[in-house]
Structure 1
Amino acid sequence: MAQVFVTGGSGFIGQVLVRRLVGEGHTVRALVRSERSAAAVRALGAVPVHGDLTAPDGWREELAGGEAVFHLAAETDITADRERHDEVTVRGTTAVVEAARQAGVSRFVHCGSEAALLAGDPLIDADESASLRPDSEAAYCATKAVAEKTVLEASAPGFATVSVRPRFVWGPGSILVEGLVAAARAGQFAWIDGGRHTTDVTYVDNAVEGLMRGWQHGCSGNAYFVTDQHRVVLREFLQRQFDTYGVSGPIPETDARTAAHDVPVPARWFLGQPCTLRTDKAVAELGYRPLISHTDGIDAVAKSLTRGAPSGDEA
């Protein structure tokens, strides 16, 4: 069994990852900023390490003797300014990469995103040959691209780096879905051009499966898309989520021209454009297969709401 270090371990994806790592017998240390986050990872069986993502002098020694680092922490507020995204996503990633390399960690797994490829045009059957877009006008997208570039370019003998890119991670306690639910309840959500475009999505356990396989089998310096391999019509998928969460009343519609004034980038791209991704590379090189079917995922969300499952933090 291995000793691993996780950033973002108290977040939505991070908690599922930590739970799986601990369940498989690995020793997990997780970087946390608050006592609330510390309590969350401690409850999962991990050891919380208090520290600032961008100040590794306070926690670098905790990486010593470790086999892998899973880097999930990033700024997820798309309304935050570029300076904030640079500070957390770019400088934070650089700090973790350098700390891991200096500590002698052999594997580095970054949780990336298709957002790193978004600059205004839809992604249609995109694969990993598509270019990163650090020039994107959206700070979230641009900094995700810069962060991934930092990770992949750090690949070196004895220091293998990979980036695993899930799309629209959903499941019980999804911060993304719950944010859209809150917007719908407040009358601040509308279908852009009907919302009837096709998109890929990734159930949280499937995202974690991709991260685990990236650790175990990923080729250094490479990125991999992972999805549910079950494409959905965005409107149908989200309406099912809204119904499950008990959102009442019809959802209004808007056209792309109006959305260009009312909906911030990249939310407009995320909600108003098709996004389909190929997972051939992850299947061939990682042996990736989704663990949870779309139907079982929907059932799990409904059951979690009945139980009152808590939401995760994001860092």
Structure 2
Amino acid sequence: MSDQPIFITGANGYVGRNLTRYFIATGRPVIGMVRSAAAAELVRSLGARPVIGDMLTGDLAPLMAGAESMIHAAARLDHSAGRDALAANRDGTARVMAAAQQAGISAVVHLSTDSVLQAGQPLRDVDETAPYPARPAGAYSAGKAEAERIALAAAKAIRVMILRPRMVWGRDDGTALPTLVRMVKTGRFAWISGGDYLSSATHIANLSHAVDLALERGRTGEINHITDGPVRTFRETVTGLLATQGLIVPDKSVPRTVLRLLARVGDGLYRASRGRLKGPLSFQEYATSAVEISLNTDKALPELDYRPVISWDEGLEDIRLGI
């Protein structure tokens, strides 16, 4: 194992801080890039060396000095009908990849998402050969697809591997699970056509393991889907996650066709009003949660020797123990 530092962008985010914990636990030094002094203190408390920088501004290469490899986990996660996520994820990735080359980084894992394939239609057992849609679901999908293209172009100069997880979950989740909890507690939660469509998911421990494998043996320019293995329905996944918080999910359901129309109309209102008006959900949010998205991971087994290290039941118990 190398004793040279790993540079992690977005080190204070849910994925970034768990990757920091993972590599620190293996004895690997970590340099974590964050945007504020408060975030720097968090990263320092995890045992890493924080540096303050923004992927959209400033000189990034000096911050990477001394690092051997990089994990690009920073991203604008905005799923609204706005367009900021497109430019931020595209331009930020371009600047990060350019800085990595300038700093002499030898290997990069670019963390992408199944959202690059989302257009509002089901994605059934989809593999890495699936093309980017002509009309992405929203700015987040478009921006992350552009980021992938930039990472693939950078792979001609340095070793770059791309991982696509789906619905990352686990203890310490500060995004998806808290949102679900708020929706249930405020009475705003409803299944979409019953929620009985398949949805892949990726426990944070499985993603961290896959990142480690990609750095060790991944081939440059390759994309790999990473999930927990056996696929479950969206209803089973959400019900299980909310049960760890002692919550029972109501049976209320909304027809998919109605929600799709509301999402399209809401996006139109958002754009026409320049963000002052919006519907109950954006089309990006609809595409993420309202249709089947099941990822085929057959490619990751021979290329990375990837197998999940934590099961669904073990992950749920880990959340319960962490409450």
What is the TM-score with the length of structure 2 in the denominator? 0.89
Asked if 1:253 corresponds to 2:250, the answer is: no
Partners of 1:186 and 1:50 lie apart in 2 by: 37
State the 4+ residue runs in structure 1 displaced beyond 6 angstroms: none
Contact 1:13 1:204 in 2 (8 A): yes
Asked if 1:11 corresponds to 2:13, the answer is: yes
Which amino acid letter does the alignment assign opposite residue 163 of structure 1?
I
Contact 1:54 1:91 in 2 (8 A): yes
Cα distance change, pair 154–135 in 1 and its aligned pair in 2 (3 A): farther
Q: Secondary structure at 2:283's aligned position in 1? A: coil
Cα distance change, pair 56–215 in 1 and its aligned pair in 2 (3 A): farther
Q: Which residue among 20, 33, 36 is the counterpart of 1:34?
A: 36
Identity of aligned residues (%): 33
Name the stretch that deviates more: 87-96 or 128-137.
128-137
RMSD (CA atoms): 1.5
Asked if 1:277 corresponds to 2:277, the answer is: no
Distance apart, 1:10 and its partner CA: 0.8
Which amino acid letter does the alignment assign opposite residue 30 of structure 2?
V
Partners of 2:70 and 2:114 lie apart in 1 by: 21
Give the unaligned 5+ runs of structure 2. 263-279
Give the unaligned 5+ runs of structure 1. 306-315
Which amino acid letter does the alignment assign opposite residue 4 of structure 1?
I
Partners of 1:16 and 1:8 lie apart in 2 by: 11
Contact 1:116 1:134 in 2 (8 A): no
**Matching residue of 1:50:** 52
Distance apart, 1:247 and its partner CA: 3.0
Q: Secondary structure at 1:147's aligned position in 2? A: helix
Q: Note the 1:132-211 alignment, pairs <5 A.
A: 132-133=132-133, 135-157=135-157, 159-174=158-173, 175-211=175-211
Distance apart, 1:251 and its partner CA: 4.3
Distance apart, 1:169 and its partner CA: 0.5
Q: Secondary structure at 2:247's aligned position in 1? A: coil
What is the TM-score with the length of structure 1 in the denominator? 0.92
Name the stretch that deviates more: 246-255 or 186-195.
246-255
Distance apart, 1:249 and its partner CA: 6.3
Cα deviation digits, residues 188-231 of structure 1 (max 9, x gap): 22100000111111111001111111111111111100100021
Q: Secondary structure at 1:225's aligned position in 2? A: strand
Asked if 1:103 corresponds to 2:107, the answer is: no
Partners of 1:198 and 1:152 lie apart in 2 by: 29
What is the number of residues matched between the two proteins?
302
Partners of 2:147 and 2:133 lie apart in 1 by: 11
Cα deviation digits, residues 247-271 of structure 1 (max 9, x gap): 3562421001221204321221222
Contact 2:15 2:204 in 1 (8 A): yes
Cα deviation digits, residues 66-93 of structure 1 (max 9, x gap): 21110011111212621x2134211111
Contact 2:190 2:250 in 1 (8 A): no
**Matching residue of 1:290:** 308
**Matching residue of 2:320:** 302
Which amino acid letter does the alignment assign opposite residue 290 of structure 1?
P
Which amino acid letter does the alignment assign opposite residue 60 of structure 1?
A
Q: Secondary structure at 1:266's aligned position in 2? A: helix
